[in-house]
Amino acid sequence: MVLLLLLPCMIYGASLPEPRQAVLSATNAEITSLAEQLYSADVNKANSGDVTLNLQYKATGTETSSGTDFASQKLFGYVNEAKLFARPTFSRFISLLDNYIKTTGTAEVVTSGEIAEQNAFVDEIFKTTVFSRLSSFFVSKGYYTTAESFKTDFTEMWFGLYTRTKGPLDSSGFEHIFHGEIHSGKISGFHSWVQFYLLEKSGQINYLSYSADGPWTGYPDVYGFQFKWTTYIKTLGSMFLGTSPEFDIAMFTLCYVTRPDSQCSVTIGGHTLKIQTYTWANSTYGVGKRYVASTYPVV
């Protein structure tokens, strides 16, 4: 048990990062401005024609929780895998998705190969302009002293393990949000369009309906979906669509660091969006720092 409790720090072999300064160091206007910069810098996102959707039925009210299948077709009509998934940040991201046990209550066993995949993903996204701008912002506002200290903390907050069941180390922020979990008999987390597409393609996801479609006419866009993962239901799964992995996790990290446990208001492409953040309060790392519990676009 002692070895498991030390796992997040042992995995990455780095000294613990310094505490962040007050969360209100960044103003709302500065957060909004940076969000637009990240939106403009997302060169790996899908372009028009790279992704097509079959939205079909728009559910309202009690329909969203009924689990009724209103869709005769799959959600994704087409994804340009050859173009998008060959990009390094996408390929590194996808390599992580088979590393997790989806049902909470079972300890996650992190192999040396999985550690290498995590580190490769983090290294890759930190090469992008999206993360260069996010890192510079955090350093300029005093949340971190250097880009490297941010990178160390980023790895801990997203990949550090904790328990959602008061037992084994069975979860992390990354697993919950980008892979999805089955917790208390229902789908929990699951806010990644890439994961949705891959599971739907393999026959594990049954798309039921949609209940929200953002004002964006291109990508990224924001949707709310109803779906089943095998026999488990998600009554409202919100997610960016057509975005790169680095954009998703950068936006979530921006709001998580600056506006934890609250709704963070941003704009992308001139349209307002709120991102909800939750910290994990039951265990900490470093000097009282909290892991990511959940974060997602509000629809």
Give residue for tokens 């969000």.
35
Catalytic residue numbers read 176, 191, 234
Q: How far apart are CA 188 and CA 179, in angstroms?
A: 10
List all residues 6 or more positions away from 211 whose beta carbon is below 8 Å from its beta carbon: 58, 59, 60, 64, 224, 225, 226, 236, 299
The set of long-range contacts for 135-142, using a CB threshold of 8 Å and a minimum separation of 24, is: 137/26, 137/30, 137/34, 137/254, 138/257, 141/21, 141/25, 141/26, 141/30, 142/21, 142/25
Q: How many helices (H) and strands (E) does the chain have?
A: 12, 10
Q: Residues 274, 238: contact at Cβ < 8 Å?
A: no
Within 10 angstroms of residue 119's Cβ, the number of other Cβ atoms is 16
Residue 257 DSSP symbol: H
Rounded Cα–Cα distance for residues 93 and 91 (Å): 5
The residues pairing with 205 across neighbouring beta strands, listed in sequence order, are: 229
Q: What radius of gyration do the chain's Cα atoms show?
A: 18
